């Protein structure tokens, strides 16, 4: 799976875990501290883990020292990911020891892709860990937690994605709770592409797609709960092929047409995509659907045909160019985002310049770029001609400078435009609220908090490094974004 952004660390907000059950009130209140690393899929999984813990009497806390349960939901994409987890566990151990001196319990869990990759090794190297949970097993968290509390170390890393999807469907059938205006919805997990730099096929398994009925039911419940924008998630989301109500297999384009019919659901997005799976129907959806936002994250990783072949990407730079031309013909105002890896084994100066030329040719609104790092168990880690670290760093700096120039130019092109902004939260400054443009840029406006959860027309007046700044335009026609 291409990482959508720099792996980030996020502590879940208390609003994600409130569960309206009479059983919760009867239980002794407990607190869970959830730390999430990595992509949107992990954020979604952390939310669902918090959901299943709600009926067990847990509420979330942003203070680890107050937590009865600490869960690290980990990412294995970046270099030395496992070592960073062990380092964090060393810090948590001190907190657990201090709570023990106060007569308080603290259980510790490691979830996500590092848990899947390391398994029993985590329990061996970090005895303070009570349970290790792979990304397909979080729906079993209450049962596993009980086992761990009884004194048995738990390592659950089986690939039972069908059971996970069944759990998501059962959860969607419950009465909806109030939700934030923007939310993620997993439609597909796993990957069959086996890019030589990537661990996802080994930590998330083969591609599996949820059915249309499961996805639509959950999306409808989200809309009833106040969600205005849904981002469909998958390691290879445009490879989704789910069972449709007509008995046929649907593609992502057809699913988007169906989701666009849901009342109250005003915006749709999806991530992360692979160039090989951008079919005609999906491109047509970008042309036809006002609810499908004019933004597409479509990783290419390299602009060199020889490196693309070595990465096992199964497309060429020319095929990528032709695909971009088709997408822009269908949706001229679309903003393109991308992932790039510099310093892949064997990358020459000319290979790198091919990547730079691709960036100049396509012109991206944003991009995420990384130095290649060897992931244990992947073919790339065993390749000859590993690139010197200093060369990687120099190439990355040059590439990021070019991308930053393109991002600034794209943001500047929004000045004096008026478009719909979905407001999601309070800003850092008093009286400020922050929303999201159709092109996924943060937009900051001085306005009432009462507008959070609504889509309002905003005229852009200036830009910052990553954000747009504007003013409300009451009564102005919302040309994009409803």
Question: Where is the binding site for [4Fe-4S] cluster, in residues?
Answer: 39, 75, 113, 191, 195, 198
Tell whether the torsion through CA atoms of 165, 166, 169 and 170 is positive or negative. Answer: negative
User: Residue with structure tokens 């929303």?
Assistant: 435
Structure tokens at 468: 């747009």
Instruction: Write out the binding residues.
Output: 39, 75, 113, 191, 195, 198
User: Pairing mode, if any, of strands 418-426 and 455-463?
Assistant: antiparallel
Which residues are CB-neighbours of 305 under 8 A, at least 6 positions away?
A: 316, 317, 354
User: How far is the C-alpha of 6 from the C-alpha of 8, rounded, in Å?
Assistant: 6
Task: List helix spans (H) across 152-269.
Answer: 161-172, 200-203, 212-224, 252-259
For residue 443, say if its preceding peptide bond is cis, omega within 30 degrees of 0: no
DSSP symbol at 439 = T
CB 44 within 8 A of CB 16: no
CB 458 within 8 A of CB 446: no
How many DSSP H helices and E strands does the chain contain? Answer: 15, 22
Nearest of 180, 286, 186 to residue 235 by alpha carbon: 186
In angstroms, how far is CA 445 from the centroid of its own chain? Answer: 26
C-alpha dist (Å) from residue 389 to 6, 106, 243, 344, 398: 19, 40, 46, 11, 14
Which residues are CB-neighbours of 477 under 8 A, at least 6 positions away?
A: 457
User: How far is the C-alpha of 78 from the C-alpha of 376, rounded, in Å?
Assistant: 11
């Amino acid at each position: 799976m291409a990482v959508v952004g720099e792996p980030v660390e996020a502590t879940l907000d208390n609003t994600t875990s409130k569960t309206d059950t009479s059983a919760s009130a009867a239980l002794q209140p407990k607190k869970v501290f959830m730390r999430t690393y990595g992509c949107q899929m992990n954020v979604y999984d952390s939310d669902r883990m918090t959901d299943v813990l709600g009926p067990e009497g847990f509420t979330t806390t942003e203070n680890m020292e107050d937590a009865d349960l600490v869960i690290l939901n980990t990412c294995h994409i970046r270099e030395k990911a496992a070592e960073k987890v062990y380092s964090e566990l060393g810090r948590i151990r001190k907190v657990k020891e201090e709570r023990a001196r106060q007569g308080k319990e603290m259980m510790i869990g490691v979830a996500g892709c590092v848990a899947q990759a390391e398994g029993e090794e985590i329990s061996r190297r970090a005895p303070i860990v009570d349970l290790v949970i792979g990304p397909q097993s979080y729906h079993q968290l209450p049962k596993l937690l009980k086992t761990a509390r009884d004194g048995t170390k738990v390592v659950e890393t089986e690939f039972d994605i069908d059971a996970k999807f069944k759990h998501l469907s059962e959860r969607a059938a419950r009465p909806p709770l109030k939700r934030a205006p923007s939310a993620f919805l997993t439609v597909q997990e796993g990957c069959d592409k086996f890019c030589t730099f990537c661990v996802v096929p080994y930590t998330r398994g083969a591609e599996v797609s949820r059915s249309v009925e499961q996805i639509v039911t959950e999306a409808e419940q989200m809309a009833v709960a106040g969600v205005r924008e849904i981002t469909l998630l998958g390691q290879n989301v445009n490879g989704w092929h789910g069972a449709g109500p007509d008995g046929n297999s649907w593609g992502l384009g057809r699913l988007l047409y169906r989701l666009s019919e849901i009342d109250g659901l005003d915006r749709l997005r999806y991530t992360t995509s692979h160039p090989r799976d951008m079919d005609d129907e999906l491109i047509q959806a970008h042309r036809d659907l006002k609810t499908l936002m004019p933004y597409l994250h479509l990783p290419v990783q390299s602009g060199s045909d020889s490196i693309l072949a070595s990465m096992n990407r199964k497309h060429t730079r020319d095929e990528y160019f032709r695909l971009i031309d088709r997408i822009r013909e269908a949706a001229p105002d679309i903003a393109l985002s991308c992932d790039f890896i510099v310093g892949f084994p064997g990358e020459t100066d000319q290979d790198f310049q091919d990547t730079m030329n691709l960036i100049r040719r396509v012109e991206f609104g944003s991009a995420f770029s990384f130095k290649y790092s060897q992931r244990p168990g992947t073919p790339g880690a065993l390749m000859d001609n590993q690139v010197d670290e200093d060369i990687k760093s120099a190439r990355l700096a040059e590439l990021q400078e070019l991308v930053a120039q393109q991002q600034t130019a794209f943001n500047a092109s929004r000045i004096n435009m008026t478009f719909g902004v979905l407001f999601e939260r309070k800003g850092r400054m008093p009286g400020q609220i922050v929303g999201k443009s159709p092109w996924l840029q943060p937009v900051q406006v001085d306005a009432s908090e009462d507008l959070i959860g609504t889509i309002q027309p905003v005229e852009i007046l200036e830009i910052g490094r990553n954000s747009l700044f504007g003013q409300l335009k009451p009564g102005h026609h919302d040309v994009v974004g409803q």
